[in-house]
Amino acid sequence: MPRRPSPAPAAPSRPVGNATRGTTNPNRLRRMDRWIAAEHGAELRRAADPVAVDLGYGAAPWTAVELLDRLRTVRPDARVVGVEIDPARVEAARPYGKPGLDFLHGGFEVPLPGARGRAPVLIRAANVLRQYDEDEVTAVWRRLCARLAPGGLLVEGTCDEIGRRHVWVALGPEGPRTVTFAARLGSLHTPSDLAERLPKALIHRNVPGEPVHAFLRDFDRAWAAAAPLGALGARQRWRAAVAALATDWPLAGDPRRRRQGEVTVRWEALAPRG
């Protein structure tokens, strides 16, 4: 009897999400990467499968390459998968692939090479949701958090074009945990300069009556009160302002990170009302 022809392979499903503008620059995400390595390093070291995802890396692969280098300072066998929804960007990035660094076509479904059901210990999504509507953010967060391995971390936020100013939200499988503000202090006029880099979940909430607006107002006041320390350098002024904030706001994370121009606040203190 003639052999029955094999069924045609199923067409790949369309990646979930929309293509971003793709803007990227070398070292743009260095502040975020260093915070991840410092604050999430213990989970990376414990992970059975230390794979991280650079979701929406953009028109060039630099941020994925740099993420691998920085994660390997805490876990030498860490792996990074760059995921892009634009297939042309994936093809352009593949020549930069190497052991431990892969590039795949995909979106918020977060594809990974290897065994089915594999889950990342880290997803970094920088400058991705900024181009979505605010009412879409929670569903995307839930989808990405559901892809995390136990103990995994989602870092989602926004920065300027050369990485001087960042704000990001850190989320675990249970949801949002903290918000981190980070800046090159020599370029900072007031802490509220960071408002333009608030992630999508918060940027439209920087108005009177919302917690994030009150936080930035108090930060500016503390910064102004610490002005005499500016003679000793912007870092000393920043640390004094952050110490003053700690009396009224639930700060989190390693206090030593504040020397790097960072301050981390519990999510529930800044979460949008309603």
Model pLDDT for residues 152-173, shown as the tens digit of each residue: 999 999 999 999 999 999 999 9
Q: Which helix (H) or strand (E) holds 146?
A: helix 137-146
pLDDT 10s digits, 185-201: 999 999 999 999 999 99
First to last CA, the chain: 68
pLDDT 10s digits, 44-90: 999 999 999 999 999 999 999 999 999 999 999 999 999 999 999 99
Asked if the model's pLDDT at residue 14 lies above 70, the reply is: yes
pLDDT 10s digits, 198-215: 999 999 999 999 999 999
Helix (H, G, I), strand (E, B) or coil at 207: coil
The length of the chain is: 274
Spell out the domain ranges in the chain: 29-184+250-267
Q: Which helix (H) or strand (E) holds 223?
A: helix 211-225
The better pLDDT of the pair 24, 206 is held by 206
Average pLDDT rounded to a whole number, residues 232-260: 95
* Structure confidence at residue 4 (pLDDT): 41
* Band (116; pLDDT cuts 50, 70, 90): confident
Asked if the model's pLDDT at residue 101 lies above 80, the reply is: yes
pLDDT 10s digits, 130-154: 889 999 999 999 999 999 999 999 9
CATH class of 29-184+250-267: alpha beta
- Neighbouring CB atoms inside 10 A of 92's CB total 15
Structure tokens at 68: 């691998």
Least confident interval from 4-13, 111-120, 205-214, 234-243: 4-13
**Residue type for 164, please?**
R
* Structure confidence at residue 21 (pLDDT): 78
CA distances from 226 to 107, 165, 242, 260 (A): 44, 21, 10, 17
Task: Determine the Cα angle at 155 with ends 39 and 205, to 5°.
Answer: 115
